[in-house]
Structure 1
Amino acid sequence: MKVCITKPGITSILHFDCRLQGYGNDAVINLVSYHQSTQSLHPSKYRGPPFRTLDYALQDAFKEFLEVRGINVELGNFLIRHLHNKEQQQYVKWLHSLAFIIKKGLESS
């Protein structure tokens, strides 16, 4: 998941690329980048060092920074469940549409 943190009245953004290490496990930060504004969110040529190569104290500080704001494993697991449910609902809707088209085609034959 991508997390963008801003402050009211300030245009700069702290951007985190995160992932879950398997269902129910720790959230992992892949990358942290700073952008001067929302218009500068496009990928830059230099994205900084990989997160895992940063000083461990800095890594821990970034993880705590996100957790204080509710970006944690529970949120990640909620998002995964939500996306699975949404995908299932879209699939069922598609099946109903397909059944309607087939039924309509059979009736017109």
Structure 2
Amino acid sequence: MFEQMNEQMQTAMKPVTDLAALNMSTIQELAEKQNSLYKSLLSEGMSYFEKASQQKDLMSLAETNKAYVESMQETVADVAKSSYTVISEAQQKAGEMFKGLSDDMTAKFQEASKA
């Protein structure tokens, strides 16, 4: 009897555990992207300061600044796009999970009402 109750509880909680697993994997992937972005910003920032300190005239410094800003824009835009993709995919998977749960519940209610 206990095994049957345990099995029913696991079956009932499966959608919740699946959604929690999806959330955890999404959060982990986003955290990895943010960590990578932070490392990239630090690395490029240090490289910029090294290059800027070696410039002899204002025009060279302006070119170094321009290259640094363009690089930063590209890096941040790439991370934003990939993060958006991760979130969109997770949202789609969650929607599919809820639709499946809804379909299962509807079928069970229809089955129960026939009995």
Which range, TM-score by smaller chain?
0.3 to 0.5
The structure having more radius of gyration, on CA atoms, is: 2
TM-score, length-normalised on structure 1? 0.38
Structure with bigger RCO (C-alpha 8 Å, 6+ apart): 2
Bigger helix share: 2
Bigger strand share: 1
TM-score, length-normalised on structure 2? 0.37
